[in-house]
Amino acid sequence: MSEPAASRPPRRLVLGVSGSIAAYKSAEIVRLLQKAGVEVHCILTRAGAEFITPLTLGTLSGQPVTTGMFDEVTGGIRHIQVTRESDLLLVAPASGNILGKVAHGIADDALSTAIMASSAPVVFAPAMNTRMWESAAVKANVRLLEERGFLFVTPGTGSLACGEMGTGRMADPAEVVAFVLRQLGTEGRGRRLLVTAGRTEEDLDPVRFLTNRSSGRMGFAVAEAARDRGYAVTVVAGTTSVEPPLGVEVVRVRSAAEMARAVAARHEEHEIVVMTAAVADYRPRHVEPRKIPGRQRRLTLDLEPTEDVLASLRGKRAGKVTIGFALETEAEMEGARRKLETKGADCIVLNNPTRPGSAFGGETNEVTLLFAVGRTEVLPLSTKRRVAEEILRHAEEILAEKCTAGSASGPPVRRGGKTAVRPARRSGRGRTR
């Protein structure tokens, strides 16, 4: 199994903060990056220090802040050392001054020198007055930097610190961090993944509805793991008890019908679909327009089946991968195999919420993977993030096999039906180039 994020060497990022009033947003960027498991080292320019202090950035990042060209660390100069060990360099905010320096090869402070010495990708999040951003000089510098492979998070439009309205305000910290997280991923670069998450709600009357206890944690773990692998991720989410991860598109729905429509409209553009949502199996045949009076001696509900979102994809995803979930509390394997046969999925993930460590809303899960080719694999009790990483690994293997089979003259090779418990697999940290 893939190594958990907590024990892998963390992704490392250098955050350069230049002179702009938007420097106060860099504190939120540090917080969001750390929340996503990224180790942040800050370089603060002299002008940047007029807006935010080294103490603030150092406290939030938990790392020394570089402010001078000749700050020393063991084995070298700090700004060179942290750049050598980083996976990406982000400049946020990026002033017109730093853009001009880098565009014309000027390295007269720690940040400009670090950028010039970096072999990692560099992302600029510009922030400046509208007239500066639209000036001929800045436009020319941006074009030159883009031609050289530098990346930009386009500034937003709105009210600026100077009181004017226009384009030039730095993008929202969440938007900047989402962009950065996509760049840090590598395995799924260029691919798209759709995941359903959470629970649906089926109205009974204006104040009551039928639902279940799903929290959305498993679906969000899949979305987060895919995001970190570089996928463009769309989450179709019902009601959830936790917040979705940063850097993914979230489409909110309530009912099974709404989820079915959302998936039908989007699945074709996604190579991998993972259906973790706990979709209500039944809904009231008639929704009362007014609240049903309480304290009745007996109430009979007339229910009808809801849309089968997973089955609706059967036969529509040739050359792509569809993974479903089966929640069973008895005759587990029989129920999961029946679902695998009837839904047309490539894999069914079986889980039982009554098992120790696998309860609704928990951080861990124990699952069994049943594959359409006849193979079965048991994943021992693990964090939901680790389970998500293993699901993605298998999805990528299935996708690769389908691509190979599609280009070959013969039928795909089928594997034997073995059951195995996989030990933990360790994987090193790759650098984004």
Residues with catalytic function:
162
Residue position matching structure tokens 């069914």: 348
Give the Cα separation of 427 and 14 in Å (integer). 23
Other residues' Cβ atoms within 10 Å of the Cβ of residue 373:
14
Yes or no: say if 82 and 15 are a contact pair by the CB < 8 Å rule: no
b/e code 18-46 from CB counts within 10 Å (16+ = b)? bbbbbbebbbebbebbeebbbbbbbbbbe
Residue position matching structure tokens 């944690």: 217
DSSP label at residue 153: -
Give the Cα separation of 353 and 365 in Å (integer). 8
DSSP assignment string, 308-376 = -TTGGGTTS-TTSEEEEEEE-SSSHHHHHHHHHHHH--SEEEEE-TTSTT--TT-SEEEEEEEETTS-E
Between CA 306 and CA 315, with CA 310 as vertex, the angle to 5 degrees is: 125
Q: Measuring CA to CA, how many Å separate 161 from each of 133, 157, 164?
A: 14, 12, 7
Q: Measuring CA to CA, how many Å separate 149 from each of 133, 146, 198, 244, 432?
A: 20, 5, 39, 31, 13
β pairing state of 272-275 and 321-327: parallel
Strand partners, 12: 39
Yes or no: say if 30 and 57 are a contact pair by the CB < 8 Å rule: yes
DSSP assignment string, 233-292 = EEEEE-B-SSPPPTTSEEEE--SHHHHHHHHHHHGGG-SEEEE--B--SEEESS--SSPP
DSSP label at residue 313: G
Give the Cα separation of 362 and 384 in Å (integer). 9
Q: Is the bond preceding residue 93 a cis peptide, omega within 30 degrees?
A: yes
Which residue from 104, 162, 110 is spatially nearest to 132, judged by alpha carbons? 162
Residue type, 235: V
